[in-house]
Amino acid sequence: MKTFGKDKLIYYFGPENKPVYFAEDGETFWVETGDCYSGQIKTVNDLRPNIDISIMDAAVGPINISNATPSDTLCVEVVDIQFAPQGVMVTSVGLGVLGKMIKAPNTKIIEIKGGYAHFSDSIKLPLTPMIGVMGVSPKEGRIHCATPGNHGGNMDTKEVTIGSKVYLPIFVEGAGLAIADLHACMGDGELSGTGIETAGKVCVKVTVIKNKQIERPIIETDDSIYTIATEATYEKGIEVAVTDMVALLQKKLDLDFPDAYRLLSATCDIKISQVVNGVYTLKVRVPRYVINNRSVF
């Protein structure tokens, strides 16, 4: 099985990035990743104000997927996630939703061992592995890897985890997939500005869904489907994610808009992925049983 090394990176998603790795439609492979700080924070003495934030969330890729065209959708199935032996969490003035309460930067090193993140001598957190950055090239322009959008990117959505399928729109030939930003644990919102940030590697399987198009990422788990929207305000993010879910319910159950809208209100949940990336990433969850346990496609 191929392993794509963490030495070939992009700092922004854009069509001018030339592919550095190549995978076949249907192939399974490993991707090595550094942590979101590109290895700049190793000890408690390494503080966020002293690092180069322009290289944060550098993503491994672009990975060219054979047979992928802008008339298709890319499915990325997360097969496995493995971590380095330690993670880091930083605080810094202004970072996260309560950043104004931080008076000085601080770094915490957290051991990852035996299926747990050892937050302190008395607090062990079961690992909740997830991938923060997974995206494809946009049709035009440059989008920093730290920024989420319709292309995916730094969605910081905890459902991007082992066993999930992430469906991404394709805007350029070959898709230009790139992956980064592993978390050993992270809650919805990423409220302090970080999860437990760590290096590691992920195993994914890529499949091209031919002649099917989506506008924004969709995530499928064993029991749920999520529509994902990133917008400048949370109100707009909710509106877009809800609109996408209503359309999905209409299609899957052959409903008119009023009934799909009612069904959404009766069964679906609005959730927050992240609120700390300068924009808001929202998700709407529908239990799979509502659509008779069907898949997205």
3-state secondary structure of 148: strand
* Structure tokens given for 162: 């082992």
Nearest to 230 by CA among 296, 292, 169: 169
Nearest to 180 by CA among 212, 207, 148: 148
* Structure tokens given for 258: 């009023």
Residue at a domain's end among 209, 227, 242: 209
0.75 surpassed by pTM: yes
12 and 83 part of one domain: yes
Position 248: which residue type? L
Bridge partners, 31 (sequence order): 4, 202
What is the reported pLDDT for 261? Answer: 98
Tell me the C-alpha distance between 201 and 252, whole Å: 35
Strands 224-231 and 177-183: unpaired
The tokens 């050892």 sit on which residue? 118
Q: Say yes or no to pLDDT of 66 above 90.
A: yes
pLDDT tens per residue, range 142-167: 999 999 999 999 999 999 999 999 99
pLDDT tens per residue, range 80-128: 999 999 999 999 999 999 999 999 999 999 999 999 999 999 999 999 9
Tally of domains in the chain: 2
- Please state, rounded to an integer, the average pLDDT across all residues of the chain: 96
Q: Say yes or no to pLDDT of 73 above 90.
A: yes
Give the number of other Cβ atoms within 10 Å of residue 215's Cβ: 13
Give helix 257-267 / helix 234-253 axis angle, nearest 10°.
110
Quick check: is 34 in a domain? yes
Q: Say yes or no to pLDDT of 26 above 90.
A: yes
Quick check: is 296 in a domain? no
What is the reported pLDDT for 150? Answer: 97
199 and 228 part of one domain: no
For residue 4, give every residue at least 6 positions away whose Cβ sits within 8 Å of its Cβ, in sequence order, or none: 21, 29, 30, 31, 32, 60, 61, 63
Tell me, rounded to whole angstroms, the distance of Cα 96 from its chain centroid: 18
pLDDT tens per residue, range 162-206: 999 999 999 999 999 999 999 999 999 999 999 999 999 999 999
Q: Say yes or no to pLDDT of 265 above 90.
A: yes
Q: Where are the alpha helices (DSSP H) in 155-222?
A: none
Q: Are 249 and 291 in contact (CB under 8 A)?
A: yes
* Structure tokens given for 73: 């959708």
90 and 141 part of one domain: yes
Tell me the C-alpha distance between 47 and 24, whole Å: 41
What is the reported pLDDT for 249? Answer: 97
121 and 201 part of one domain: yes
Cα dihedral sign, 8-11-13-14: negative
> From residue 229, how far is each of 157, 200, 280 by CA, in Å?
11, 27, 8
CATH label of the domain that carries residue 48: 2.60.120.580
Quick check: is 247 in a domain? yes
What is the reported pLDDT for 277? Answer: 87
187 and 242 part of one domain: no
Quick check: is 297 in a domain? no
What is the reported pLDDT for 131? Answer: 98
What is the reported pLDDT for 49? Answer: 93
200 and 245 part of one domain: no
Quick check: is 134 in a domain? yes
- Containing 241, the helix (H) or strand (E) segment is helix 234-253
Quick check: is 45 in a domain? yes
The tokens 């805007």 sit on which residue? 171
Residue at a domain's end among 181, 209, 237: 209
112 and 241 part of one domain: no
Tell me the C-alpha distance between 271 and 282, whole Å: 6
Q: Which domain holds residue 132?
A: 3-209
Give the number of other Cβ atoms within 10 Å of residue 216's Cβ: 18
What is the reported pLDDT for 156? Answer: 96
Q: Are 167 and 217 in contact (CB under 8 A)?
A: yes
- The full 3-state SS of 270-292, as one line of letters, equals EEEEECCCCCEEEEEEEEHHHHC
55 and 172 part of one domain: yes
Length of the chain: 297
Residue at a domain's end among 209, 233, 255: 209
pLDDT band at 14 (very low <50, low <70, confident <90, very high): very high
106 and 225 part of one domain: no
